[in-house]
Amino acid sequence: MGADSRRLQAEGAQRPPPSRAEAEAAVETLIRWAGDEPSREGLRDTPQRVVRAYEEFFAGYREDPEALLSRTFEDVSGYRDIVLLRDIRLESHCEHHMVPIIGTAHVAYLPDRRVVGISKLVRVVHALARRLQTQETLTAQMADAIEVALAPRGVGVIVDAAHQCMTTRGVRQPGVSTVTTAFRGEFESRECLQDRLWRLLG
């Protein structure tokens, strides 16, 4: 995350968030703007449902990825090879259009002195994905969080996802996915490790 982004996020954090009633009123406004009537039977409870859904979609703002990785284990019998989690389901939202980004994340690291429970890596992916994002930023944030928390010899993150801002609007190209990568440490400096990682992913 760049300095400008951190500054803007810090400024936003100082302002009190809108109330639930304000959020529901905003959804009503959007329904009217779209051309429908929020008071009709099928839409009567939609503002409340949307706000509840947004609480799930953007729960990552209330989670600290590094804290999720704080409990580590050092008794690994000298294991120093790749630890890889493949095909982690990823659901995020594009910060430009607020529509879903859906795909998979593959997360790998080379332990130095400690490892972390594998479920924690999944939680980190979910925590960072459940925010308004670009895929490039999300990929880099995953790698950075693992690097800072675990101090491994290397980190590799690969994300393959489809963006509904492109598949359902604009150029309307279903079936197109975007692949982004972030390599740190030995994964960045040793191409043979990147090659191994791609082979492990098949």
Q: Are 116 and 125 in contact (CB under 8 A)?
A: no
Q: Are 142 and 157 in contact (CB under 8 A)?
A: yes
Q: Which residues are CB-neighbours of 121 under 8 A, at least 6 positions away?
A: 69, 85, 88, 107, 146
Does the annotation count 93 as an active-site position? Answer: no
Question: Hey, what are 158's tokens?
Answer: 């690969």
Q: Which of 133, 135, 141, 194 is catalytic?
A: 135
Does the annotation count 56 as an active-site position? Answer: no
Q: Which residues are CB-neighbours of 102 under 8 A, at least 6 positions away?
A: 90, 91, 92, 161, 162, 164
Looking from the CA of 51 toward its CB, the CA atoms found within 13 Å total 14
Q: Which of 126, 133, 163, 194 is catalytic?
A: 163
Does the annotation count 126 as an active-site position? Answer: no
Does the annotation count 37 as an active-site position? Answer: no
Does the annotation count 106 as an active-site position? Answer: no
Does the annotation count 97 as an active-site position? Answer: yes
Does the annotation count 95 as an active-site position? Answer: yes
Q: Which of 66, 97, 147, 164 is catalytic?
A: 97
Computed on alpha carbons and rounded to an integer, the radius of gyration of the chain in Å comes to: 20
State the amino acid at position 34 in one-letter form. Answer: A
Q: Which of 95, 147, 186, 188 is catalytic?
A: 95
- Nearest in space to 121 (alpha carbons), one of 153, 93, 147: 147
- Distance, in Å, from the CA atom of 174 to the CA atom of 71, rounded to the nearest integer, reads 41
Catalytic residues: 94-97, 135, 163, 165
